[in-house]
Amino acid sequence: MPFFSESAEPGVLTVSQISRSIRQLLEGDFRFVRVSGEISNLSRPYSGHHYFTLKDSGAQLRAVLFKGQQRFLAQNLGDGQQVICHGRISVYEPRGEYQLIVDTVDFHGAGLLQLQFEALKKRLGDEGLFAAERKKNLPRFPRKIVVVTSPTGAAIHDFLKIWRKKGWGATIQIYPVRVQGRGAGEEIAEAIARINSRLEAEIIVLCRGGGSLEDLWAFNEECLARAIVASRVPIVSAIGHEVDFTIADFCADVRAPTPTGAAEQIFPEALFWQQQVGNYRQRCIRLLLHRLDSSSRRVTQGRRLLGDLDMILSHLSLQVDHRSSRLIHLMTRELQYQSLKMGQALARLQRLSPLGQLTLQAERLHHLSHALRQQMQVLIQQKNSLLSVHAARLESVSPLATLARGYAIVKKKGAGKKEEIVTHSSQILVGETIEALLHDGALECEVRAVRRKTV
């Protein structure tokens, strides 16, 4: 039974009455409206109805699309879509909230955030930031993982739950950051850079629960994408639900559908590997026992084949002593022989030593030098005598000797002409100039008369 079914006093309305009046007023004045906006916070509970918020830059409006009206949709609803909703304004009295009861939805393109997402995705993809060849492999058995997340969110608890379940003895360090709101992308990018420079980590996990496109927008920032690509440590993205995709997912080395899925991929099954190690241990023990048993049988068989080892060893010891004595005798003889050869070689070396050879050759050189000087003196005397004879002969036929007896040599001189020795009077004309060479000089004469010899 309600507390107040009617107003307690005249002029005073109950909450139900004022809510009903407002609903009637709104439904009367806004029987049919067309509202444009961007869909966010979309949910579909078990009832099958769609509940969402229409928003623009200045305000937001709650909206509901009942299950029966969904058959008129041209496509499924999604966060970030820019739509025009046709319907009526009503009031949900139990909560005192007004909302838009949607009849039909017109889709006229993606929302602003979705357009920004697609543009950034294309630009970074063209730069090669999503290329598979630059992605790093995760270590198979990691020992230290750093989770970049909000420490108060449910996502980190899901991640740690799987870690504990698998029983893998890795160290988990939580790096607290904001995962939503203005500046969250820059904060996460700075965290990745610090982990690379200051912390020893084998894997970095970006962890966040689900949400709308706007809620996840920090993971669509360009600065975060470039920080992921620049990281030396492999990065796993565990953001949102399986249907949620962010720029960080495309840049990360491994994309997990959920935080739980990331833990499933990163941590091996400790029990499975313990069983594997146990199986390998048992197998190694069996192989070693088999090998020892086989070797023992071979040793036993060898002992039987060898017979009495003491007798064999005694015989071998005698042989060693005999051969040792023989070896010492042979080595002594060889040393004596080599010593004799070395003495002979030393004597020969002394005879053929370079110093002795140099002394011998020096004496020989001195003797040859003395003989050479004697031979040269004899040869010089012979050549001097021969030169005197030839000089006397040359003197007897020399023209200079003839000139010394009063004779002269006459040459014909002419301008620009070669000198010519005059031997006939026909070579000279009156008035020409001639030169007479004497024993101690020359005369230049002018011909006044030419007398020719008559026969």
Mean pLDDT over residues 387-407, rounded? 79
State residue 65's pLDDT score.
Answer: 93
Residue 176 has a pLDDT of 92
The separation between CA 155 and the C-alpha centre of its own chain, rounded to angstroms, equals 38
Distance CA(379)–CA(325), nearest Å, equals 78
- Tell me what pLDDT residue 191 has: 92
Give the pLDDT confidence score for residue 236 in this predicted structure: 92
- Residue 35's pLDDT band, with cuts at 50, 70 and 90, is confident
The residue ranking higher by pLDDT, 232 or 74, is 232
Question: pLDDT by residue (tens digit) across 262-278?
Answer: 888 888 764 555 556 66
Residue 199 pLDDT grade (very low, low, confident, very high; cuts 50, 70, 90) = confident
Contact 88/101 with Cβ under 8 angstroms? yes
What local confidence, expressed as pLDDT, does residue 296 receive? 81
Confidence grade of residue 4 (pLDDT, cut at 50, 70, 90): very low
15-110 CATH choice from 3.40.190.10, 3.30.479.10, 3.40.50.970, 2.40.50.140: 2.40.50.140
Banded pLDDT at 109 (limits 50, 70, 90): low
pLDDT value of residue 29: 67
Q: What is the predicted pLDDT for the residue at 249?
A: 92
Question: Could you tell me which residue, 243 or 369, shows the higher pLDDT?
Answer: 369
With beta carbons less than 8 A apart as the criterion, state whether 238 and 207 touch. yes
Whose tokens are 């009942």? That residue is 66
What's the pLDDT score for residue 69? 86
∠ at Cα 57 (52, 63), nearest 5°? 20
CATH number of 125-271: 3.40.50.261
State percent of the chain over pLDDT 70: 91
Quick one: pLDDT at residue 28? 65
Least confident residue range of 54-63, 154-163, 296-305: 296-305
Residue 5: its pLDDT value, please?
Answer: 45
pLDDT value of position 73 = 81
Q: Where are the domains of the chain?
A: 15-110, 125-271, 404-446
Point out the least confidently predicted range of 12-21, 237-246, 380-389, 402-411. 12-21
Dist. CA 215–CA 402, nearest whole Å: 141
Per-residue pLDDT band for 281 (boundaries 50, 70, 90) equals: confident
Residue 3 clears pLDDT 60, i.e. is over it: no
Q: In the predicted model, what is the mean pLDDT of the chain? A: 82
pLDDT value of position 309: 65
The helix (run of H) or strand (run of E) holding residue 235 is: strand 235-239
- Residue 91 has a pLDDT of 82
> What is the structure's pLDDT at 394?
81
Output the DSSP codes for 302-361: HHHHH--HHHHHHHHHHHHHHHHHHHHHHHHHHHHHHHHHHHHHHHHHHHT-HHHHHHHH
**Nearest CA among 119, 243, 246, 251 for reference residue 192:** 251
Mean pLDDT of 173-185: 89
| pLDDT over threshold 90, residue 32 | no
Segments in 398-423 forming alpha helices (H): 399-404
Does the pLDDT at position 227 exceed 90? yes
When pLDDT is cut at 50, 70 and 90, the band that residue 308 belongs to is low
Is the predicted pLDDT of residue 190 greater than 80, yes or no?
Answer: yes
Residues 321-349 pLDDT 10s? 888 888 998 998 899 998 888 888 888 88
Mean pLDDT for 404-420 is: 75
Q: Per-residue pLDDT averaged across 228-251, rounded? A: 89
pLDDT above 90 covers a percentage of the chain that reads 18
Residue 163's alpha-carbon distances to 153, 187, 262, in angstroms, are: 16, 26, 10
Look at residue 228 in the predicted model and tell me its pLDDT: 92
CA dist., res. 81 & res. 107, Å (int): 8
Dist CA 236 CA 405 (whole Å): 133
What span, in angstroms and rounded, lies between the C-alpha atoms of 221 and 184? 9
Query: What is the mean predicted confidence (pLDDT) over 350-358?
Result: 77
For residue 416, pLDDT over 70 is answered with no
Q: What's the rounded Cα separation, in Å, for the pair 108 and 363?
A: 124
